[in-house]
Amino acid sequence: MRSDRFLKACRGEAVDTTPVWIMRQAGRYMPEYRAVRAKHSFLEVCHTPELACEVTLQPIDRLGVDAAILFSDIMIPLEGMGCDVEFNPGPIMTPIRTQKDVDALRPFEAERDVPFVLDAIKLIRKELDGKVPLIGFSGSPFTLCAYMVEGKGSKDFANFKRLMFSNTPLFNELMTKVSDTVIAYLNAQAAAGAQALQLFDTWGGVLSKADYANYVLPHSKRIIANLDNSVPIIHFVKGAGLMLDTVKEAGGDVLGLDWHIDIGDAIDQIGQGFSVQGNMDPAYMFAPAELAQKTAAEITEKGKKARGHIFNLGHGIMPMASADTAKAVVDAVHEAGVR
């Protein structure tokens, strides 16, 4: 059944067909979303429960996906820590690089700092009425701290890596404070009604396997160990294809995969202790529909040897993607994934 196949796959239980959802499935590639954004800023949508609910629901029937994901942004909880975040179009903030900067960060309290997120979750659950589950999410501490130290996105993360290597105690203090925020934020989402939680580590793959193990893994492991284990936990580290054996030490129920590794090879590395999520190149969403469907079906077939497989892209769907192609891919997965 559509209503439970995603959660069953997360837990490694039998499903009628492979479930599918798409990272950033509520986004600029959809005309319905662009119509909302024509009237409201990005942060206004994130901060207004009714608008966040509206755009969260847009892909559910349009694409036929098996899960909804809360419309928000990974930077939202940092506002509660005292960071002044703007989007132009990506996140921009005053860099945090000194002991004084780290000391000035305030402890995060979900009810005080992000009541609009919790209200959005409750509203979305009510509107979904059991049709599909709702996924909550947070950025990982490494990814969030990377933006905090750089003050924006970066190609090389030179300032962040300099802090990590030259002042490791301060790096760990910052990572610990942000990890505390992530734990509180995700647990509050689960308490509000999120039925699965995804930890996004967009930039973890910029590190070597050894550096990931030394500087990131302890924090990710602590987060996952302290999350509400009554809901499935998805851990996605972009660029982790060469260190999945290390990433899986963090725990959780599902490992997300980007498109740089063959899903069959990834399953062999991971073993049967985890379900997997992924992993089509997002660029296929503006390829001819027939090619996208063929590729999706091949990934779906390979995914059947995993404990459980949730089809997804290897990262977020891009603005120039075709909504019609996305729908065709969802249909192809459901057809190829029949057990």
Alpha helical stretches, state H, 104-157: 110-113, 115-128, 141-150
Give the C-alpha separation, 55 to 3, whole Å: 20
Residue 58 reports pLDDT greater than 90 = yes
Give the C-alpha separation, 197 to 309, whole Å: 16
Look up the pTM and report it: 0.97
pLDDT in tens, 230-264: 999 999 999 999 999 999 999 999 999 999 999 99
Find out whether 185 and 114 touch, Cβ atoms under 8 Å.
Answer: yes
- What is the CATH architecture of 2-336? Alpha-Beta Barrel (3.20)
Q: Predicted confidence band at 90 (pLDDT cuts at 50, 70, 90)?
A: confident
Domain boundaries, the chain: 2-336
Residue 88 reports pLDDT greater than 90 = no
Residue 78 reports pLDDT greater than 90 = yes
Give the C-alpha separation, 66 to 54, whole Å: 17
Find out whether 170 and 163 touch, Cβ atoms under 8 Å.
Answer: yes
Residue 89 reports pLDDT greater than 90 = no
Residue type, 198: Q
pLDDT of residue 155: 86
pLDDT of residue 275: 98
Q: Any idea which residues carry the catalytic annotation?
A: 24, 28, 37, 73, 147
